[in-house]
Amino acid sequence: MDKIDDYARLLDDYERGLYTGREVVSAALGFLFESTDRESFWKSLTPTHREKMERLLVEFDETAEPFTVRGDPHQVWYEMSTLKRWLAGIRT
């Protein structure tokens, strides 16, 4: 299913020690952005990952200067801003 299978594989790899918890959350944010059915993907997350992702999105400051260690900072800003607005929309 749309990105849910990717997330399940990521969890399997995490259980095998291939990724840290932070890497899983970061990748899951990317999957959420790319998903064509964000609500279903969101519901498929473990409660721990959902809580961590929600906290990151809620605390994301759209007015701050875009910055990232990896990737294009403007793309990361766009994705996080998009997801923050999406999350606010489903919470109302």
What's the pLDDT score for residue 2? 82
Segment 29-67, tens digit of pLDDT: 999 999 999 999 999 999 999 999 999 999 998 888 777
Identity of the amino acid at 40: S
Give percent above pLDDT 70 in the chain: 93
What's the pLDDT score for residue 72? 83
Task: Please report, for residues 32, 41, 60, 74, the alpha-carbon distance to residue 49 in angstroms, rounded to integers and kept in the order given.
Answer: 12, 12, 16, 24
- pLDDT value at 68 more than 70: no
CB atoms within 10 A of CB 92: 4
Whose tokens are 């990952």? That residue is 49
Measured between alpha carbons, how far is 75 from 41 in angstroms, rounded to an integer?
A: 21
**Model confidence band, residue 71 (pLDDT cutoffs 50, 70, 90):** confident
Q: What residue ranges do the domains of the chain occupy?
A: 4-91
